[in-house]
Amino acid sequence: MSDVLIIGGGQAGSMVAINLRKKKFEGSISIITEEASYPYQRPPLSKGFLTGKTKIESLFFKSEEYYEKNGIKVLLRHRAIKLNTKKQEVILEDGRSIDYKKLVITTGSNLNKITSKEHKRIIYLNTLSNAIELQKQLKESKSVGIVGAGYIGLEVAATAKKMGLQTTVFEAEKRIMQRSASKEISNFIKSYHEKMGVEFKLNTIAERIEPTDKGVRIDLSDGKGSNPDFVVIGVGVQAASSIAEDAGLDCSNGILVDENCLTNDKNIYAAGDCVNYYYSRYGTRHRLESVQNAIDQAAIVSSSIVGEPILYNSTPWFWSDQYDLKLKIAGLSQECDLTVIRGKTEEIKFSACHFKENKLTAVECVNDQKTFMLGKKLIETESSITPEAMENTLTNLKDWG
């Protein structure tokens, strides 16, 4: 029996456990994780870790000793395969079962895979072990093909190019970062990569990817092929919510939760990438894949469990490091009807500010920390700032409270 049982040892799951102990929760806590390692940060895997700037020991949230000292049981290399909500138990792949009083599902997301074979030269960057293999391939190879032009693909492309590899990015959509950024930002990022020597093939599907004696063969939808030394694939993810769906919890593009991250079962919470959450700020549901989202929702879950519920009304934000570019995004721009540019793109310090019905809904900032902080605050306070004022010099935030 575990007073709080957590399925998933990523950012959200580990933070729920850590937060509970910070809040003086004295009950038993267990984390079930398929990983061989204690919970660690994933964003650095496509950034500083590949170049060696970020050391492996700095990836871990807490040491093994921390979990032991604080009475948090971490079941490594264990997979939860079934949830019985009536008996309040989780069945493991090895046949064992664990009873719970409160369950937290933080299963994250599953990679979209387009290959059937496992091979060291075909890499999906979702685990520490895969990142270590990628680090090795970058050091030993001369060329890389990257399938997918999202954040991970572009961050790997930037690292590979800085290390001197011939780098080609294949993207099925008509532009890069189709789902995660506006066309203004994606056009700028693509141009910057091209200046660094990265080649893009847009509207191009990698139909077949096969290892060869010397590298990898990629057959493309335009009838052509490519033969890099190795391939990195990042073509999106889906909510890892099957265990919740099979148990009868309400799911739709993720596990549906209320503002306290509670599912339709009073004893089961969910947080992180696997969650479809209602954002009252936008009046719509979203499933977000971001570190901050996982951290915020973990705080909500832990607070609810100890009887101190808080509502989640944070402004979503994301970041990406590519070359000397620091891209930070606050808010959601998908449904905006007006965009103004603040700053100058030629100075590589600017922001795309997005409005919907004259209300600031998102800012996308390139090397522009000041606008990011101000824009995020303006969104949070539902400021009445006009597009004209946002585009020009903004000196006094209080004027737009």
Q: Are residues 55 and 126 in the same domain?
A: no
Nearest CA to 86 out of 241, 270, 267 is that of 267
Query: And the tokens for 243?
Result: 């265990």
Amino acid 47: pLDDT: 85
Q: Are residues 51 and 121 in the same domain?
A: no
Q: Which residue type occupies 345?
A: T
Query: And the tokens for 263?
Result: 């599912």
Render pLDDT for 174-217 as a digit per residue (tens, 0 to 9): 999 998 899 999 999 999 999 999 999 999 999 999 999 989 99
Question: Other CB atoms closer than 10 Å to residue 113's CB: what's the count?
Answer: 10
Whether the Cβ atoms of residue 148 and residue 233 lie closer than 8 Å to each other: yes
Range of the structural domain that residue 301 is part of:
2-110+237-305
60 domain-assigned:
yes
Residue 361 region by backbone torsions, left for phi larger than 0, else alpha for psi between -120 and 50, else beta: alpha
154 domain-assigned:
yes
90 domain-assigned:
yes
Whether the Cβ atoms of residue 255 and residue 276 lie closer than 8 Å to each other: yes
pLDDT for residue 250 is more than 90: yes
Amino acid 393: pLDDT: 58
SS3 238: strand
Euclidean distance between CA atoms 399 and 384, whole angstroms = 9
Whether the Cβ atoms of residue 50 and residue 60 lie closer than 8 Å to each other: no
Question: Looking at residue 396, which CATH number applies to its domain?
Answer: 3.30.390.30
Strands 225-226 and 216-220: antiparallel
Residues 6+ apart with CB under 8 A from 368: 328, 342, 343, 349, 350, 351
pLDDT for residue 3 is more than 70: yes
Q: Are residues 388 and 289 in the same domain?
A: no
Render pLDDT for 81-138 as a digit per residue (tens, 0 to 9): 999 999 999 999 999 999 999 999 999 999 999 998 779 999 999 899 999 999 999 9
Strands 325-331 and 359-366: antiparallel
177 domain-assigned:
yes
Q: Are residues 8 and 75 in the same domain?
A: yes
Q: Which residue type occupies 282?
A: Y
Q: Are residues 103 and 244 in the same domain?
A: yes
Domain final residue, candidates 192, 210, 233: 233
Q: What percent of the chain has pLDDT over 90?
A: 82
SS3 375: helix
Q: Are residues 157 and 185 in the same domain?
A: yes
CB-based burial label for 217 (10 Å; 0-12, 13-18, 19+): middle
Render pLDDT for 150-180 as a digit per residue (tens, 0 to 9): 999 999 999 999 999 999 999 999 999 998 8
Nearest CA to 333 out of 369, 282, 367 is that of 282
Among 90-99, 232-241, 242-251, 305-314, the range scoring the smallest mean pLDDT is 305-314
Q: Are residues 274 and 343 in the same domain?
A: no
Q: Are residues 215 and 354 in the same domain?
A: no
Question: Looking at residue 185, which CATH number applies to its domain?
Answer: 3.50.50.60
Q: Are residues 104 and 244 in the same domain?
A: yes
Overall number of domains in the chain: 3
Determine the average pLDDT of the residues in 10-22.
97
193 domain-assigned:
yes
Amino acid 286: pLDDT: 87
Domain final residue, candidates 199, 233, 267: 233
Residue identified by tokens 């493309």 is: 220
pLDDT for residue 28 is more than 70: yes
Q: Are residues 146 and 216 in the same domain?
A: yes
Determine the average pLDDT of the residues in 356-362.
92
Euclidean distance between CA atoms 95 and 86, whole angstroms = 18
Euclidean distance between CA atoms 168 and 127, whole angstroms = 23
Domain final residue, candidates 248, 276, 305: 305
Q: Which residue has the higher pLDDT, 391 or 172?
A: 172
Residue 14 region by backbone torsions, left for phi larger than 0, else alpha for psi between -120 and 50, else beta: alpha
Strands 122-124 and 230-233: parallel
pTM for this structure?
0.91
Q: Are residues 126 and 228 in the same domain?
A: yes
Q: Which residue type occupies 108?
A: G
311 domain-assigned:
no
Amino acid 185: pLDDT: 95
20 domain-assigned:
yes
Strands 225-226 and 199-201: unpaired
105 domain-assigned:
yes
Q: Are residues 257 and 343 in the same domain?
A: no
Render pLDDT for 53-66 as a digit per residue (tens, 0 to 9): 889 999 999 999 99
Task: Give just the sign of the alpha carbon dihedral 166, 289, 7, 79.
Answer: negative
Nearest CA to 256 out of 247, 264, 248 is that of 264
